[in-house]
Structure 1
Amino acid sequence: MPLLNESLREAARRSGLCWLATVDAKGQPNVSPKEVWAVFDDQHVVVANIASPVSARNIAQQPQVCLSFVDVFVQKGFKLKGSAHEVLAADSAFAFWAAPLLAMVGQCFVIHSVLVIRVTSVAPIVAPSYRFYPDETTEASQIASAMRAYKVHPAPQEKP
């Protein structure tokens, strides 16, 4: 079974942001949000370097990373650990790795490079309510709670 299976891919599609954790050569951590990212295949996640000089520099010094994402409404997601490398825009492999990211941004952003993560482990992220109150916690109840907290409402359904 692939590490990055279809349920993980679907959860990634529902998550707007991911958080990429890197470490510099002195062991100082850095966590930054990434808006343009995608599950590339069964082993790789790609992240657009639009404004990420610290992440790129840290990966060059220390390739171990952790990428996390959560669907804020159902309050479930995944933590992916692995090793990353940077593919610069001038590199011959850039078009290959950047393809899904370029499709997402069009002309809105310049992608300076792609941070390619080879995922070696996957762990679920689940809100504590699912564990501590399993009889009353459902995805529907979590969505309703999040909508109240964020003061949002479901989009009206289109009529056929």
Structure 2
Amino acid sequence: MMDDAVREVARRSVLCWLATVDAEGQPNVSPKEVWAIADDQHVVVAHIASPISARNIAQHPQVCLSFVDVFVQKGFKLVGRAREVRAADPEFFAWAAPLLAIVGQRFAIHSVLVIQVQSVAAIVAPSYRFYPDDTTEASQVASAMRGYNVQAVEKDKP
């Protein structure tokens, strides 16, 4: 379900956004810094400081996770069902492995939010749709770099 294109954009995305809903139907969207695609059907998110997300998932497991490469302005929306795997659970370290590789000793991971992905949809900036003849990934990167006031770093030559 999650092919190489999804994995590549995920690799380039600094944050993902996890949407959950509470018992009263109140939505919550929370940025997540430590997350990974675990396999073709699962995404794992570290519960480092996510008590609301964890509580909401216990009440309503349906979630949406989105991520975007902010320079290319393309990404993906993943919809699925989540569950919390706590540190005391036998399967914790299997799910936590890619997250622990990211954080090392920097953060304590209280639990892992495991999302079984049910659907994947592309996210693209409106320019790609409304101005397809003028919009390329290169033009979007240039525009984003101007907007964020950043410059490309020249790579060291061998």
Q: Shared topology, TM-score over 0.5?
A: yes
Question: Quick one: distance in 2 between partners of 1:152 and 1:91?
Answer: 44
In the alignment, does 2:31 pair up with 1:33? yes
Q: 3-state DSSP class of the match of 2:2? A: coil
Quick one: distance in 2 between partners of 1:105 and 1:73? 24
With normalisation by structure 1, the TM-score equals 0.98
For residues 36 and 43 of structure 1, the distance between their equivalents in structure 2, rounded to whole angstroms, comes to 18
**Counterparts of 1:84 and 1:157 in 2: how far apart (Å)?**
40
Q: Which residue of 2 aligns with 1:92?
A: 90
- For residues 86-117 of structure 1, the C-alpha deviation after alignment (integer angstroms, 9 at most, x for no partner) is 00011111000000000000000000000000
Q: Summarize the alignment of residues 119-134 of structure 1 with structure 2, pairs less than 5 Å apart.
A: 119-134=117-132
Instruction: Provide runs of 4+ in structure 1 moved above 4 Å.
Output: none
- Residue in structure 2 matched with residue 48 of structure 1 by the alignment: 46
TM superposition score normalised by structure 2? 0.99
* CA distance in structure 2 between the partners assigned to 1:136 and 1:4 by the alignment: 29
Give the drift of 1:49.
0.3
Paired residue for 1:69? 67
- SS of match in other structure, 2:58: helix
**CA displacement at 1:157 relative to structure 2:** 1.4
Unaligned runs of 5+ in 1: none
Aligned residue number for residue 115 of structure 1: 113
- Gaps spanning 5+ residues in structure 2: where? none
Give the percent of matched residue pairs that are identical in Structure 1 and Structure 2: 76
SS, match of residue 116 in structure 1:
strand
Counterparts of 1:138 and 1:124, CA distance in 2 = 16
Query: Matches of 1:121 and 1:61 in 2, distance apart?
Result: 21
Distance in 2, Cα, partners of 1:47 & 1:89: 13
